[in-house]
Structure 1
């Protein structure tokens, strides 16, 4: 069965015109045109049934003039007026799509292409794979690792390789390709007589449109004359052909959840259209592959399919389930709440499951008009507390960290977590999707009741306390019951690989309460200090803009690589120090850094402007707004099941990317402060990934350097250059550091040359000398590449498997990227496992000793604690011991610890 697609975006205007021209001009018995309308609806139904998306956007053009008309008044001037019989079908189509519950997007003044481009870009940034359903070649420019196209009429699917095969150019060159050919439909000017083959040939030869323009004099024949005659209009043609990806939208991709359909409205319309095929969908399979009855919120059919779901509303029903739970060795539990943020979520109800098909929902706070009486929440929690807090009563759930944090707000400490299906799935394959709906479909072939089905989506979405119990009950009970069933699948799979089961039992499951406590602890923020920093940054950003304009000799967009390139290389004559893969002068951040290091003022001004703007928008403006009104502290969310390597990730806000090397970054960390009578203690592993490399490779020289406590970068430089560490310059040490870290990240000689600003031959010489001196590292790298090719994964010291699905890909670039990941992943993954073990040990000690200390942050290889001033000495030594003994390596683990009133002082 086709796997579910996370996000599908439909080029609905394209659907409409294709259906109109491809299908017969049908009418109903009243003479109303219906052909295009019915065609679009059938195409949508097939797409949804095939893809079963979690999120869906049906996007239409709004009509009227947009920015392209302003840039080029003749844009689309040649298009004929819409036929009357087609125009008559548009409003009925929009009405029916809305009745189907499908998110409909029509943004005034913005073309559908740009809405889709923006949503796809936002989704890709969030790691949400997207499928765009269209027959328009313009969308090929959006294709990436996260975005693919499907032509519903032909069934053709295009990924990056498919785009290259079909058009002869990669996705990033499609806009250039379209500009060269022009577009008669949209009236975009191009090069006369330049067809697809010529456009692809020129781009292959000259890299991109700028390269074609620069080499126009070298193109011979009539086509060359045509090219030279149209050079001035080509940049505009590319601008018109480029899909915008930064449209201001009022919603995010995850707001596009389908809502329950209005079945009666659909029945009226399908009857009017006289479409027996569409009417049949209301009695059989309907939108998104679910039954029309379930979509109309009648769950009786779903409940009779080998399920025994109970709604607990009376004392007698509660007593019955309490007895059943007390008699069970293990049960599944799931909380239902009013919000995703556990710090703000109110408990609405609790679901339990005892076995496949046997589950109950205990509502506690549904308060919609007409809601039936429910048991008192406080009294129920008092009765449930012994069960929930019993460490010997095994609990099953999906993402139980959330449930633990919610229950903690009510004085209940969830103990006895035995199985978490989110974490079991993650340990088995970190690259898969781990949400409950996807897991149910993948492992149980079961279509779950979606949250959007019972609560709606977007601005109209209900909070769970507003969802009627006849809908809330089956939804909640199913969540608990599915978690139970999934664990029956995962448990033998984990047991079949003892290393993975140990990882699950010893690291991931014990980490759940640690992270819950850490998140609830939060960190104190000096919001006044951050506000003052924002004002200072705003002033300096404006000053940098004016300085940049003065140096450039004109005003320009400091965020535009194209404008920057024109000023750098055409107007100021700055040297081209690097090129893009297609041969154009690069304006990447590395290039800006190198030009700035060579004394060029404008690149330094641009870098400073970008850096300050990011700090302001991401941190100084945002963090004060995120302070919790109840605790007065900032609370982030840590995620165990996101990264492929096992590292924790942080969101809302992300506190793992606050810069440390710049003065402004350190000022932000100064705003992270300790509570009165406390200090912050920061403990950071020193060069942990290099130490892991020494252990894994067994290289004698690396092992000796670490065992002797040498500065590993000086030791490397001395080995490569054949001199004593004392004779080295700081620049030589910097180069050695780049080599040490670059090679464990799989960096090539070419990449090293770019980073160090040296010739590729010199970089290759460095690499060769490095491997001559450290042969064990070369042998390890080759061994790990071969293991990855043979097994499809590599492993950490704890046995965590890091899957590499593209290790045997036919595309060289993707295969090479997988090989680089294979080299680094064991180091990064092992480092992640080690600091997780350290967190568990530190937290256990604090809980056991009841000290006035608590973990408040985890950032990469660093732990931050808030400690009472009277306990600093004891905590410092215990933290050091726990972290340095979290793994037994062939070289010592070294931890650097600092203490201060704020995070910067402590680091």
Structure 2
């Protein structure tokens, strides 16, 4: 790796430093008003006081800024920052983790300057987001391990430069966390080792930006076999509107994620404490009810939790299997019974002990993940929000406010614990069937498969779920009952993502509380495809994964026969060999369609053939492949390496998709982009968002300001923002006013 070399010099009353990072040598000079501006673009990084971890609502104080434009660099003091920003107001700013640097800069400049205008205009670039988008486009995921997307990690990967983060100054203290002691001090008061640390990050950010840009361009210019490819002109227009790979949209999302965390959401601690205590008592009740219970002919004691509980649960599942071999049960790669929530819930009707265990675990999660932490807040929860899941959506954690659990019987609702500030209400606005609206645009405008769905959602008199139910039941839409509509809803939303009959049947029960037979599910699928004939073409899969794997790994009949000690066979890769490999990766005891178990020689050949792909898999899956530990996750991981590439209407690429992901991404990703644009418009207009949940925005509004005109303004902005990404398709935003996040605390909208 390249080494960092520094030469120091103090002259003419200004600090000067010469910094070499890798092959680049840059002179840094203290910037002062009137100096020659950087143009047209430069990298910028800030050093600050340490972040106050107890006060996530606080932005740390700016201590020093560092700018670099290739062969020129500058140190920007807090005193000079206002003039520096004004001088470079129309330039392009390149940052790593831009939301942080923007917030720090905005805090110092206060109301005199709006730094987010540069984001609005597409003049801020974030190398962290570019790297994530590039990985999504080339490796199929935006997730990273360890410090993969840190500046140091990316500098090592793309520049071959080492940027150690743990650097001790002359006083022996860590330079990275020690800038706070130089707050409001001149640049000359900052020691050379601290300036070295700051300068090299700016140089690395500049060079990283220029290393990423051609790779990002190549995604579009060198694309091949892309599902949903709209053509060069449409992609060029999308990149102009939303940034390369939707960078500009995702930067807005990243800024909003920081804003949501800082604002937080109010907590009714009295309700949370009552809920915590009630959950504690209910956990104790279930524990007492299950303790001492036995199972099997030998009256084996059932151990609910703690030492021995894993073995006890496996023994119970063995006993259940012996009694009810007909029930579907999953095994793990180690051949143990699967004991996750989904696996146990599917068996709970047949075994009361499992039903009790499922209830016990739900209560523990409700207590430990939500009610107890909320009870300990100081009246406001500051969850973490993150941009760019693989679908393009944002996510939330600690706690996950986007996926709040339903309240258990007799216990307070978690949603009811989340409340606005005194004198305020929640204005919750969600998009009606937005994914179907986006899918209509995708089918009509992107894939050119037909406009039936777009016509249905554009008709304000049509409720697609009722139309499907009415078609199946031979009723008028007015005669369709709510439960019948719910049964169709599961199919309406689930089928476009590639869900089959079994998955749809399960979703109808779990998400909508509707029991459907296999025949009823099929009838709803058929009705859907009759109403939207282009849906069938959308769900046709033209990719032969087995053939792709066989070609990638040169799985030929000749090699296969040789592994079995036989001679002859063609030397051309064949799909059936790739299909056999997928079974080996997925199943502990793979067998042919006629029931013949794979021989040890066949399995050894296939495991050895796939071994070279280990280096392309995430760490845990790579370890499983090398250890020959089959699982569905391993099979899916390998399939992704030869999977589909897809692109959204907004121009974001995702590679190596499984079939379902390739379909879901097209409509979920664009719906996410539309929501981000809507949330951004509301935030910029001065509204106070506290939560975004896939198709819903929650604003905190002063009750005295809540008027019909305000509600109309909010819904209008949301509809217009989604309309920008799917023009020509009707989008409706539906508002509700609540005293908490719980719908039971809703009240009527203002009429004046």
TM-score range, shorter chain: 0.5 to 0.7
- 1:463 matched to which residue of 2? 177
Structure 2 CA distance for aligned equivalents of residues 574 and 426 of structure 1: 47
Question: Which string of whole-angstrom CA distances, capped at 9 and with x for unpartnered residues, describes residues 465-515 of structure 1?
Answer: 389944432222122222223333445666766223421275334455544
- 1:804 matched to which residue of 2? 655
Question: Which string of whole-angstrom CA distances, capped at 9 and with x for unpartnered residues, describes residues 202-228 of structure 1?
Answer: xxxxxxxxxxxxxxxxxxxxxxxxxxx
Structure 1 CA distance for aligned equivalents of residues 36 and 649 of structure 2: 39
Displacement of 1:830: 0.9
- 1:476 matched to which residue of 2? 198
- 1:635 matched to which residue of 2? 382
Instruction: Give yes or no for the alignment of 1:400 onto 2:147.
Output: no
Structure 1 CA distance for aligned equivalents of residues 527 and 249 of structure 2: 39
SS in 2 for 1:448: coil
Instruction: State the number of aligned residues.
Output: 564
Q: For 1:668-679, what aligned pairs fall within 5 Å after superposition? A: 668-679=414-425
Instruction: Give yes or no for the alignment of 1:864 onto 2:673.
Output: no
Instruction: Give yes or no for the alignment of 1:543 onto 2:241.
Output: no
1:713 to 458, 465, 468: 465
Displacement of 1:453: 4.9
Structure 2 CA distance for aligned equivalents of residues 306 and 662 of structure 1: 61
Structure 1 CA distance for aligned equivalents of residues 542 and 702 of structure 2: 46
Return the structure number with greater relative CO, CA threshold 8 A, min gap 6. 2
SS in 1 for 2:47: strand
- 1:114 matched to which residue of 2? none
- Say whether the 8 Å CA contact 1:835–1:886 is kept in structure 2: yes
Displacement of 1:647: 0.8
SS in 2 for 1:622: helix
- Say whether the 8 Å CA contact 1:650–1:656 is kept in structure 2: yes
Structure 2 CA distance for aligned equivalents of residues 306 and 290 of structure 1: 10
Distance 1:540 1:407, change over 3 A: farther
Higher Cα radius of gyration: 1
Q: For 1:54-73, what aligned pairs fall within 5 Å after superposition? A: none
Structure 2 CA distance for aligned equivalents of residues 462 and 352 of structure 1: 14
- 1:414 matched to which residue of 2? 115
Question: Which string of whole-angstrom CA distances, capped at 9 and with x for unpartnered residues, describes residues 63-106 of structure 1?
Answer: xxxxxxxxxxxxxxxxxxxxxxxxxxxxxxxxxxxxxxxxxxxx
- Say whether the 8 Å CA contact 1:558–1:606 is kept in structure 2: no
Distance 1:829 1:663, change over 3 A: farther
SS in 2 for 1:536: helix
- Say whether the 8 Å CA contact 1:400–1:420 is kept in structure 2: yes
Instruction: Give yes or no for the alignment of 1:778 onto 2:536.
Output: yes
- 1:892 matched to which residue of 2? 730
- 2:264 matched to which residue of 1? 522
Question: Which string of whole-angstrom CA distances, capped at 9 and with x for unpartnered residues, describes residues 558-607 of structure 1?
Answer: 585653353366279568532216898765534544555x5864444322
Instruction: Give yes or no for the alignment of 1:435 onto 2:150.
Output: yes
- 1:314 matched to which residue of 2? none
Distance 1:347 1:700, change over 3 A: closer
Displacement of 1:709: 4.2
Q: For 1:187-206, what aligned pairs fall within 5 Å after superposition? A: none
- Say whether the 8 Å CA contact 1:351–1:480 is kept in structure 2: no
- 1:794 matched to which residue of 2? 646
Structure 2 CA distance for aligned equivalents of residues 774 and 558 of structure 1: 50
Displacement of 1:461: 10
Displacement of 1:829: 0.2
Distance 1:481 1:773, change over 3 A: same
Structure 1 CA distance for aligned equivalents of residues 696 and 363 of structure 2: 25
- Say whether the 8 Å CA contact 1:308–1:357 is kept in structure 2: yes
Structure 2 CA distance for aligned equivalents of residues 322 and 446 of structure 1: 35
Q: For 1:205-354, what aligned pairs fall within 5 Å after superposition? A: 302=20, 306-310=24-28, 318=30, 320-324=31-35, 326=37, 328-337=39-48, 338-339=50-51, 343-344=57-58, 346-347=60-61, 349-354=63-68
- 1:47 matched to which residue of 2? none
Q: For 1:86-125, what aligned pairs fall within 5 Å after superposition? A: none
Displacement of 1:716: 2.1
- 2:491 matched to which residue of 1? 739
- Unaligned 5+ segments in structure 2 are 7-16, 182-189, 222-234, 296-300, 445-449, 510-514, 546-639, 748-752
- Say whether the 8 Å CA contact 1:656–1:859 is kept in structure 2: yes
CA RMSD across the alignment: 4.2
- 1:425 matched to which residue of 2? 131
Distance 1:658 1:547, change over 3 A: same
Distance 1:753 1:575, change over 3 A: farther
Distance 1:879 1:611, change over 3 A: same
1:875 to 691, 710, 714: 710
- 2:319 matched to which residue of 1? 570
SS in 1 for 2:427: strand
- Unaligned 5+ segments in structure 1 are 1-288, 311-316, 363-379, 808-817, 847-852
Structure 2 CA distance for aligned equivalents of residues 733 and 327 of structure 1: 61
- 1:449 matched to which residue of 2? 163
SS in 2 for 1:335: strand
Report the TM-score, using the length of structure 2 for normalisation.
0.65
- Say whether the 8 Å CA contact 2:166–2:174 is kept in structure 1: no
Q: Which moved more, 1:581-590 or 1:895-904?
A: 581-590
- Say whether the 8 Å CA contact 2:21–2:161 is kept in structure 1: no
- 1:842 matched to which residue of 2? 682
- Say whether the 8 Å CA contact 1:325–1:331 is kept in structure 2: no
Displacement of 1:834: 0.8
Structure 1 CA distance for aligned equivalents of residues 32 and 195 of structure 2: 15
- 1:503 matched to which residue of 2? 242
Q: For 1:592-631, what aligned pairs fall within 5 Å after superposition? A: 592-596=344-348, 598=349, 601-623=352-374, 625=376
Displacement of 1:732: 4.6
Report the TM-score, using the length of structure 1 for normalisation.
0.55
Structure 1 CA distance for aligned equivalents of residues 252 and 314 of structure 2: 52
Displacement of 1:541: 0.9
Structure 2 CA distance for aligned equivalents of residues 578 and 354 of structure 1: 61
Instruction: Give yes or no for the alignment of 1:833 onto 2:673.
Output: yes
Question: Which string of whole-angstrom CA distances, capped at 9 and with x for unpartnered residues, describes residues 667-714 of structure 1?
Answer: 222222222222111111222112222332346664454324444333
- Say whether the 8 Å CA contact 1:343–1:406 is kept in structure 2: no
- Say whether the 8 Å CA contact 1:359–1:478 is kept in structure 2: no
- 2:550 matched to which residue of 1? none
Displacement of 1:427: 4.0
SS in 2 for 1:799: coil
- 1:384 matched to which residue of 2? 81
Structure 2 CA distance for aligned equivalents of residues 328 and 765 of structure 1: 63
Structure 1 CA distance for aligned equivalents of residues 107 and 408 of structure 2: 38
SS in 2 for 1:885: helix
Distance 1:525 1:761, change over 3 A: closer
Question: Which string of whole-angstrom CA distances, capped at 9 and with x for unpartnered residues, describes residues 292-347 of structure 1?
Answer: 999xxxx999569542354xxxxxx64x4544464644432212232386645644
- Say whether the 8 Å CA contact 1:352–1:481 is kept in structure 2: no
